Chain A
Amino acid sequence: MKIVLRRFPLTETATTETSNDHSEDHVSTLGVSNDKLGMWVFLGSDCLLFGGLISTYMLYKDRIGPDDLGPEEMFDIPFTSVSSFVLLMSSLTVVLAITALRRNDIRRCRIWLLSTAILGAIFVGGQVYEFTVFYREGLGYTTNLFGTSFFTLTGFHGVHVSVGIIMLMSMYIQSMRGKLTSANEEKLEIIGLYWHFVDVVWIVIFTIVYLFPQ
């Protein structure tokens, strides 16, 4: 059977005799699907979440004990630059996955999906590695205000990336079951929106948290 993604809002779901004639031309008030609009709205809200966490970090980043290491000594800029680059590249691959899906090139789409998830996983792995190094150097979660706010902020970002990876992998598993088609393009696009957002947030965090103290 032919697969059609329907994007009609419920106002138009009624299949009444009278409304049938104009139900096709009135897709949605804004011409964008509810799903996508919902994701945009959610991302707007998420900005404030990171806004609050970043503000807290900015307030507390220099509040360390007399013997504690501060942000300048702690951060390994080259390492984090590489992992940031990896994350930013994943934004490119997710776009490639979307365009491949738009062309109904499922094989390419799967490759790019997987590489996006892997790049994201490398980033999260790098974060875990970084956290362990910091911990060994004496910066625990409860050591001082810098540690508390740093781990909370970057941890929240890491959780966001991980959620994105789960979503990408769900798409990938769908493709293995042969259920990924160009009709799903919008789903992937929405996941892509989320993924780009998480990347943009990381650019802000990387600049403010890592580069400013240098």
Chain B
Amino acid sequence: MAVVEQEQAPLELESGEDQITERPLGAFTRPGGGGGWRSWLFTVDHKKIGIMYGAAGLLFFIIGGIYALFMRLQLARPNNSILSAETYNQVFTMHGVVMIFLAAIPLGAAFSNYLIPLQIGARDVAFPRLNAFSFWVFLGGGLFLLTSMFIGGWWENAPDGGWFAYSPNTGVLFSPSKGIDFFAIGLQITGIASLVGAINLIVTVLNMRSPGMTLMKMPVLTWMLFIVQLLLLFAMPVISVALFLLTFDRLFDANFFNVAQGADPLLWQHLFWIFGHPEVYILILPSFGVISEIIPTFSRKPIFGYPFMIFSGIAIGFMGWGVWAHHMFASGIGPVAVAAFSVSTMFIAVPTGVKILNWLATMWGGRIRFTTPMLYATSVVAMFTIGGLSGVTHSLAAADTQQTDTYYIVAHFHYVIFGGIILGFFGGFYFWWPKMFGYFLSEKIGKSSFWVMVIGFNLTFGPMHILGLQGMSRRIQTYSEGQGFDLWNLVATIGAFLIAVATAMFIANVFISWRAHRAGKTPAPGPDPWDARSLEWMTASPVPEHNFDETIEVERQDEFWHRKWGKDETGRVVRRATAEEVAHDGSNTNVHLPSPSYWPIVAALGLPIIGYGLIYNLWLCVVGGLFVLGGLYGWVFEPVDDPNADGHHDHEAHGTSEETGAEEVDENSSEEVSVD
């Protein structure tokens, strides 16, 4: 019988046995805790998974940014020939797909994974192994998509139909390369990751809150991320259907988008945008949540109109399902539909406006500290307002038919996505970096990189409004002289490189600040470096593996703040305790945690193999299927806890309760943990 090592040294009972006769499956033992790469590969810790999501998202952000730089180089001068038309199609498609599905969604997932359990006072997510599975599936799907760049020739087989991949244009007839197959299957795989993650986090928020934390006491960030998970839950199956139909069309000669057989070319557009518009809010709401944490902290005021913040978020999530056809005003859906979707599109600006005014009101009269996170957060308010207003101009269908497929649209959604989402996430990095890694990022580099980024961003996308209104089309590889496009395109290219410089400064900041921290030149952040409000600051930095030393009884919104601050007889706010007195120091070693597992990554590995199999050789599907099946069975037969971890619970009981019928994606995985 195999021997399972004692694991997770800092958290386990020191008296734990070091031998166990239980074999979860076959010859494999449980992965040990320990350090090094293994502790990341087999981890089920939501914090490590969150950090991996963030790292992968940043990596894909840089890759997608490199695509953008090549596009901007190509467009810097008229009649340029750096990229051929075919390559350009692939590059802008990959830019969109990578940025949206592999950078923005996972960066949101990074914040969700890391912060939701901490903000609700939980030890981990509801299904820790499922969480690991969803990360590895995402990473596998993302790498699968990227390999389309070089499999079968350099830039021969990358998707070339735009990130929305309008069918029938993406049928085999019009897009004969393998690119769209990679697109459809790759997004199907990352969609599984998002769906599984959404189920996991919804259950976590609903079921694992600290005692006393009612829904209306949750931090705004957790609320927004919760709404995002609900949107993912219902939007992902729709894109799955669309991608299934497209895949079946391309691989098995189905007819869904075969116009010769009478197929409706609008079917894809409807399915895609029913997913695609909620997707916009899936992307933006995490950033709204992030700045809703940053702004109150650095204004030293509670968030203004907390219930309005929550309900406007819910309203956005709800109305987000009723505006999808504004992406289709130019496709002939009829005057009634156009009018209805115009109105609903104008309406959805209202809850967004509520949020913007609430952020302003939060700052009003506050003692504002313009740290780097606060700079980013305020810039989100400003930049997103510009993007939101140009969005409202699209709701006027008459104007929109002029703007469709011009750079005006590109300008609009980059103000929303870059100005709203990416800037907010960078603010979030600076804000939570001390919490995640235990050292400050340099404010000096942070502030200068902020200005480079904001100026670069406005130089890049501001001129695109003008270019679009002048009539420059999206997705064209080049333009000729004398159309009046030259100057602003050059400006946009310069701006794009400034963004690249700012991103490089951020990466440099990470390493420089880390070295300064190692050398002892910067102070340790302590549990609560910003005098913040929510529960994640109530534990040590970096967060210990068990999150909190003891369960937190929540009485109020901003519980942590109220434990630090109170009012004296005259109503003045006075400090009652320091953060160090209130916060847990992470010294409790007597906490039992779910154990690491091999199986999530094994099961996840099978999916891209199945993907390659579908495209190149169906036998590979068998290999991939074996990985998935083996992974799932290993998973199901493996107790949630390493039975070894605390010497005295009943292995048989766990085996039995775990191994029953969990072929379906999510159930009976992982939350049974013993209470002794």
- What is the bound-complex CA distance between A5 and B674, given in angstroms? 9
Residues of B contacting A4 in the complex (Cβ-Cβ under 8 angstroms): 650, 653
A14 near B207: Cβ-Cβ < 8 Å: no
Which residues of chain A in 155-172 are interfacial with respect to chain B, using CB atoms and an 8 Å cutoff? 163, 166-168, 170-171
Whether B123 and A10, one on each chain, are in contact in the complex, defined by CB atoms closer than 8 angstroms, is: yes
Q: In the bound complex, do residue B661 and residue A191 qualify as a contact, i.e. CB atoms below 8 Å apart?
A: yes
The answer to whether A3 touches B673, judged by C-beta atoms less than 8 angstroms apart, is: no
Shortest CB-to-CB span from B614 to chain A, Å, is 16
Question: Chain A residues near B156 (CB, 8 Å)?
Answer: none
B666, A38: Cβ atoms under 8 Å? yes
Q: Which of B608-662 contact A (CB under 8 A)?
A: 636, 646, 650, 652-653, 655-657, 659-662
A52 touches B238 (CB 8 A): yes
Instruction: Give, as a whole number of angstroms, the nearest-CB distance from A54 to chain B.
Output: 10
Asked whether, in the complex, the Cβ of A48 is within 8 Å of the Cβ of B661, the reply is: no
CA distance A42 to B667 in the complex (A): 9
Enumerate chain B residues within 8 angstroms of A26, measured Cβ to Cβ: 211, 551
**CB < 8 Å neighbour of A190 from B121, B208, B667:** B667
B window 556-593: CB within 8 A of A = 588, 590-593
Does the CB pair B207–A141 fall under 8 Å? Answer: no
How many chain B residues touch A (CB < 8 A): the figure is 80
Q: Which of A24-59 contact B (CB under 8 A)?
A: 24, 26, 28-30, 32-35, 37-39, 41-42, 44-49, 51-53, 56, 59
Query: Is A174 part of the contact surface with B, judged by Cβ < 8 Å?
Result: yes
**Residue of A whose beta carbon sits closest to that of B248:** A152
Interface pair B588/A16, CB less than 8 Å apart = yes
Q: State whether A22 touches B211 (Cβ < 8 A).
A: yes
State whether the Cβ of A12 lies closer than 8 Å to any Cβ in chain B.
yes
Let me know if B675 and A13 touch, CB within 8 A.
yes
Cβ of A56 and Cβ of B245 under 8 Å apart?
Answer: yes
By the criterion CB–CB under 8 Å, are B263 and A145 in contact?
Answer: yes
Q: CB of A67 within 8 A of chain B? A: no
Instruction: Give the interface SS of chain A, mostly helix, strand, loop or mixed.
Output: helix
Specify which of B203, B267, B669, B673 is in contact with A37 (CB 8 Å cutoff): B203
In contact, B238 and A8 (Cβ under 8 angstroms): no
- Specify which chain B residues have a CB less than 8 angstroms from the CB of A17 in the assembled complex: 590
Chain A binder among B178-186, B253-261, B422-430: B253-261
Contact A34 B203 (CB under 8 A): yes
Chain B residue numbers with a CB within 8 Å of A214 are none
The stretch that binds B, out of A75-83, A129-137, A176-184, A205-213, is: A176-184
**Given A38-B199, A190-B667, also A15-B592 (CB < 8 A):** yes
Give Cα A4–Cα B660 distance, bound, in whole angstroms: 15
Stretch touching chain A among B229-237, B281-289, B302-310, B343-351: B229-237
Please give me the residue from chain B that is nearest to A170 by CB atom. Answer: B661
Report the bound CA distance from A174 to B199 in whole Å.
27
With A9-B126, A49-B237, A63-B261 in contact, do A187 and B255 touch (Cβ < 8 Å)?
no
Q: A2-B650, A32-B207, A49-B237 are in contact. Are A10 and B663 (CB under 8 A)?
A: no
Shortest CB-to-CB span from A212 to chain B, Å, is: 19
Task: Judge if B210 is at the interface, Cβ distance under 8 Å.
Answer: yes
Chain A residues in the interface with B (C-beta under 8 A) = 1-19, 22-24, 26, 28-30, 32-35, 37-39, 41-42, 44-49, 51-53, 56, 59-60, 63, 65, 141-142, 144-145, 147-149, 152, 163, 166-168, 170-171, 174, 179-181, 183-184, 187-188, 190-191, 194
A-B contact pairs, 16 of them (CB 8 A): A11-B123, A13-B123, A14-B546, A14-B550, A15-B675, A16-B549, A16-B591, A19-B551, A24-B675, A29-B208, A35-B668, A38-B666, A59-B267, A144-B262, A145-B262, A166-B661
